[in-house]
Structure 1
Amino acid sequence: MTRLGGMIGMSALAFGLLVQGAWAGESAKGGKPRVSDGKQVSLEYTLTLDKKTVLESNVGKEPMTYTQGAHEIVPGLEKAMEGLAIGDKKHVEVKPADGYGEVDPKAFQEVKKSQIPEQAWKVGTQLEAKSPDGQSMFPRVAEVKPDTIVLDFNHPLAGKTLFFDIKVLDVRPAAKKPS
């Protein structure tokens, strides 16, 4: 009995060590920190549309840093980052539902031309406006009609599939917020 009890005790100890390693965000191979909720992650990325049109890239520049699980990046990318380790590279495809959402037809608003500066009467012009509660909004001119302008309040990347090529540069415990 003592021998069996000792084996169970050893198994529990081994299990406890394994769990502690997982809580620390370390992988079973090599002990590299892994991306998990609450970790501060630094990465380099290239964002493209249609797998060819580069929208943004920070490769060779300052890394992007965010806290995993804090909803600081689009949900589809955050989900794909989970479990990656320093040095890992990945190609991630983010559908609109997990990115900036689908295009919302209710986010288009038609206004009189007199409400928009004449130099902005061009499709694609980005404007700055204030909502009734004082929040900044950045609608784009979607259409110019004889007497009105149609403004699009959707995010510019709404309805688009995003392609990220990422490389994890660093994973560490998130900085403590001052109390």
Structure 2
Amino acid sequence: MVAVDYTLTVDGKIADRSRPGQPLEFIFGTGMLLPKFEAAIVGKEPGEKVSFTLAPADGYGEIVDDAIVDLPKTIFMVDGKLAEDILFVGSQIPMANAQGQRMLGVVKEIGDDTVKMDFNHPMAGKTLNFDVEVISVRDVTPEDLAGKCGCGECSCGDDCHCEGESHADCGCHGCH
């Protein structure tokens, strides 16, 4: 079980960070974090700091043009009215694909008849810059396994769509 304080900088701006006094805890080697993130901290002891950069291919991948689609505006109708409370540029909307798999899409553009949605991971195509301090390293306990199973499975069951990314990042609500 590893606990780290971290700051993630993307495009020169802080994109994410651990909260003071609340380090990110994870079971090392279970796929809960990006593999290259774990590789960068392997062997580090509490108090050690490391800074590293992950190229898009080692982070959340490159932007896939096929994951940006125009959808009919009518699918955003609720009781005959456009769901304007969720339908605005930048809004993240959970949806399901034709196979029923859950996906998170970001509204990029709203046209007269269509809505351009981007189903790429929000960090796809981005270079990730991490500053990490290892806070603690200890053996995993049965209690850790009960709370953060680290089993690599998720609540989606056989319909998991996480495709190698952390379940915390894919939006499927984590493990079963």
* 1:145 counterpart = 2:90: no
Corresponding residue for residue 16 of structure 2: 56
Deviation per CA, 1:108-167: give whole Å up to 9, x if none: 221111112441443211112134454432100122222111111111011101111110
Say which of 128, 137, 159 aligns to 1:171: 137
Corresponding residue for residue 125 of structure 2: 159
Rounded Cα–Cα distance in structure 2 between residues aligned with 1:112 and 1:131? 14
Note closer, same or farther for the CA distance 1:60–1:121 as it changes in structure 2 (3 Å cut): closer
Alpha-carbon RMSD across the aligned residues, in angstroms, is: 1.8
Rounded Cα–Cα distance in structure 2 between residues aligned with 1:49 and 1:130? 29
Corresponding residue for residue 83 of structure 1: 43
- On the 8 A contact 1:122/1:141 being kept in 2, the answer is yes
Rounded Cα–Cα distance in structure 2 between residues aligned with 1:142 and 1:81? 36
Corresponding residue for residue 43 of structure 1: 4
Aligned length: 138
- On the 8 A contact 1:76/1:95 being kept in 2, the answer is no
Q: How much does 1:97 deviate?
A: 0.8
**TM-score with structure 2 length normalisation?**
0.71
Corresponding residue for residue 91 of structure 2: 125
1:20-39 matches, cutoff 5 A:
none
**TM-score with structure 1 length normalisation?**
0.70
- Greater helix content: 1
Structure 2, gaps ≥5 residues long: 77-81, 147-176
Rounded Cα–Cα distance in structure 1 between residues aligned with 2:18 and 2:87? 33
Q: Identity of paired residues, percent?
A: 35
**In terms of mean alpha carbon deviation, does 113-122 or 91-100 score higher?**
113-122
Structure 1, gaps ≥5 residues long: 1-39
Rounded Cα–Cα distance in structure 2 between residues aligned with 1:42 and 1:97? 25
Q: How much does 1:54 deviate?
A: 0.9
